[in-house]
Amino acid sequence: MSDSMTGKVALVTGGASGIGRAAAIAFARAGAKVVISDVDTSGGAETIDLIGDAASRAIFVKTDVSQAADVEELMRRAATQWGRLDYAFNNAGIQGEVNTTADCSEENWDRIVGINLKGVWLCMKFAIPHMLRGGGGAIVNTASNFGLVGSSGMPAYSASKHGVVGLTKTAALEYAKSGIRVNAVCPGPTQTPLVDKVISSQPELGSQITESILSRLPVGRWGRAEEIAAAVVWLCSDAASFVTGAALPVDGGYVTQ
C-alpha cells in the first residue's frame, strides 16, 4: 500500500502512543499527510518525530475528544491545514477502573463513556461535514473485541465499545450514498503502553493477568499495534471501497470462541 494515499489527509485521535501512533506512522508511510491529536503533547511530539522518518508531513493538535469545542477546532484544523480531510481514525479511548456493574462508580462511567463513545460521536459529527464538502471520505472508529462480547469487570468500557459499533453502523447507513464509508476496528489484547500500565499497576497480579489473557487467545500471543494499524489503513484505502458498516475483529480469534 506504499504511496497509495499520496495527496490525502488523515486524522488520528489518540495518536500519542500505542495503536494511534502506529496508525499515524502507517498513514504517513502510505503517503498521507497526518493530523495527530491527543491530550498528551509530549507523546504527540514523539509521534511527529517518528513520522519524519516516513518522509511525510504531520501536525499535532492537543484535543480532549469529550469536549465539543476541542473537537470542532480539531476538525477545522485538520480540514484546512492541507485543504481537505479524507480519512478519520477516531481512536482516542481509555479503559478506566475495573469493577463490577454494581460497583462501577458514576464518575468512572461518565468518564469512560464521555471519551470512548461521546468522543467518537463528536469526531464524526464535526468531521463528516468537511468530508461531504470534499466529496467523500472514510472513517474508522476504534471499538474493541469487548464491543462484540461482554467483559466481566468492565461494564462501562464494554458498553461504550458496543455503542461505538452501533454508532458506526448507523453512520455507515446514513452516509453510504454520500461517498463516506464508516467502519470500526475491534482490537483484541494488544501490547500497548495502556496495557502495560494496567498490568504494572497490579504487580502481584501481572503474570496472572498475562497468562489469563494468553489462554483465551487462539493464536497464543498478544497483538501488535502495527497489526491493528494495518487493518485501519486498509479500511480507509480504496482496497476496501465496498466495505462499510463493518465491525472488524483484529483479535487473534478471540471472538470466534
Dihedral of CA 18/24/25/27: which sign? positive
Question: Which of 30-34, 177-181, 214-218 has the lowest average pLDDT?
Answer: 214-218
Q: Which domains does the chain have, with CATH numbers?
A: 9-190+224-249 (3.40.50.720)
Residue 189: pLDDT over 80 = yes
Cβ partners under 8 Å of residue 18, min gap 6? 190, 192, 193, 194, 225
Q: What is the pLDDT of residues 90-119, one digit of tens each?
A: 999 999 998 999 999 999 999 999 999 999
pLDDT of residue 205: 55
Percent of the chain past pLDDT 70, that is, above it, reads: 91
Q: Is 87 a catalytic residue?
A: no
Say which of 87, 157, 175, 254 is annotated catalytic.
157
Tell me how far apart the alpha carbons of residues 198 and 18 are, in angstroms, rounded to a whole number. 14
Q: Average of pLDDT values for 70-88?
A: 97
Question: Which of 42-46, 84-88, 202-206 has the lowest average pLDDT?
Answer: 202-206
Residue 23: pLDDT over 90 = yes
Which phi and psi (to 5°) does residue 249 adopt?
-70, 130
